[in-house]
Amino acid sequence: MIKLLISDDSAFMRIAIRKMVEGHSDIQVVGEARTGQMCVEMAENLRPDVITMDVEMPVMDGLEATRQIMARCPTPIIMLSSLTERNSVTTIKALELGAVDFIAKKSSFVQLDIVKIGDELVDKLRYWAKKRARFSSGGIKPERSRIDPGTPVFQRKTENQGIPGLVVLGISTGGPATLPQTLKAMGKLKCPMVVAQHMPPMFTSGFARHLSTETGLNVVESSDGMEAKPGMVIIIKGGTDAVIREPFPGRIMLYERTSTEANIHPNADVLFRSAATVSCPVVAVVMTGMGRDGMVGAQELVTRKACPVLVQSPDSCIVDGMPSSVIEAGLATAVLDPAALGARLGRMAGVGALLNASVN
């Protein structure tokens, strides 16, 4: 039985969440908190398996409640956040503090929205309840990889292709807490980096600003028809996909082309496939996340351009599905933790890359 604690200052929302889960015999609501302070106290007393946390609450907001719960009684926390700039920034900060996931909700529900969110919520409650044992003070421990750490990982060898003209990166669950580590270790690149971070609309603009503040890099949200310039880290606009085009050599452009075939957006496979069309050397990066997004696109990049594919080590991931799928397909040229991955990118495409042109 999954013990759920609901935290929301809206009586309507507490009723709505209860209605979402009450038809599932494996989920039991053990408490409802109206403030962040109540949530902290009930988390300690009730020891739920999962908590749903509203972002904005009186007395103590969801951010501070998350901080205190992860320090006192670490528990999987799923943030419920309205699609606003302010709430998106707070949600991203909560994810850095230890919240494991989030669900975007409209400010005012209609019945269809409740049904859609209910399905997503139940799936995430079940997933994170299974991971309950991985929690300790300070947050979630990296997932035990399905790849045996004692087994040597096959890593492709690539010939030196010169300094990359583009870096493309796919990342999902765990990204807000992990990506800053990589960017800080990476530093400014001599080429653009384009990031497909699975996120809904309204969240990526705040995420880009947060990363810019955290890292000191030029991190921006994408726009349709923008030029990707050296030194930019471009976060693809939430809820959309982006494709790379090169109208003439050396000029890299991004266009919004949401794929009907992709089941999640922004989609790394869509990004990677389009990057295979440019004339310059490309480096692909696949980091923490559920599923297999990025694997097919990495395969196309390898087939068409024989490019390096850097992969986050599964044992350092919050969820290792995406990087493990690339490793299992034999596409990885390096398997590194987030900071080492950033350092490798810095050597390959950073300010000092001319002195390290032989490093892959």
- pLDDT tens readout for residues 190-249: 999 999 999 988 899 999 999 999 999 999 999 999 999 999 999 999 999 999 999 998
Q: pLDDT value at position 248? A: 92
For the chain, percent of residues with pLDDT exceeding 70 = 87
Q: pLDDT value at position 358? A: 43
Whole-angstrom Cα distance, residue 155 to residue 186? Answer: 22
CATH number, domain 166-356? 3.40.50.180
Q: pLDDT value at position 158? A: 65
Write out the E strands in the chain.
2-7, 27-33, 50-54, 77-82, 101-105, 135-136, 139-140, 166-171, 193-197, 218-221, 226-228, 232-235, 242-248, 251-256, 282-286, 309-312, 334-336
Contact 50, 75 (CB under 8 A): yes
Q: pLDDT value at position 247? A: 94
Whole-angstrom Cα distance, residue 80 to residue 102? Answer: 6
More confident residue, 153 or 85: 85
pTM across the whole model = 0.87
Where are the chain's structural domains?
A: 2-140, 166-356
Pick the range with the lowest mean pLDDT from 45-59, 100-114, 198-212.
100-114
Whole-angstrom Cα distance, residue 222 to residue 306? Answer: 27
Binning pLDDT at 50, 70 and 90, where does residue 147 land? low
Mean pLDDT value across the chain: 89
CB atoms within 10 A of CB 279: 12
CA dist 218 to 194, 210, 230, Å? 12, 11, 10
* Mean local confidence (pLDDT), 173-181: 94
Position 360 pLDDT exceeds 70: no
Q: pLDDT value at position 112? A: 46
For the chain, percent of residues with pLDDT exceeding 90 = 69
Position 94 pLDDT exceeds 50: yes
Position 5 pLDDT exceeds 90: yes
More confident residue, 106 or 82: 82
Pick the range with the lowest mean pLDDT from 45-49, 258-262, 298-302.
258-262
Whole-angstrom Cα distance, residue 131 to residue 80? Answer: 19
Q: pLDDT value at position 58? A: 86
Backbone angles phi and psi of 192, in degrees to 5: -75, 155
Mention the CATH class of domain 2-140.
Answer: alpha beta
Q: pLDDT value at position 116? A: 72
What residues act catalytically?
172, 198, 293
Peptide bond into 230 cis (omega under 30): no
**DSSP state string for 185-226:** HH--BSS-EEEEE---TTTHHHHHHHHHHHH-SEEEE--TTE
**Is 166-356 in the same CATH topology as 2-140?**
yes
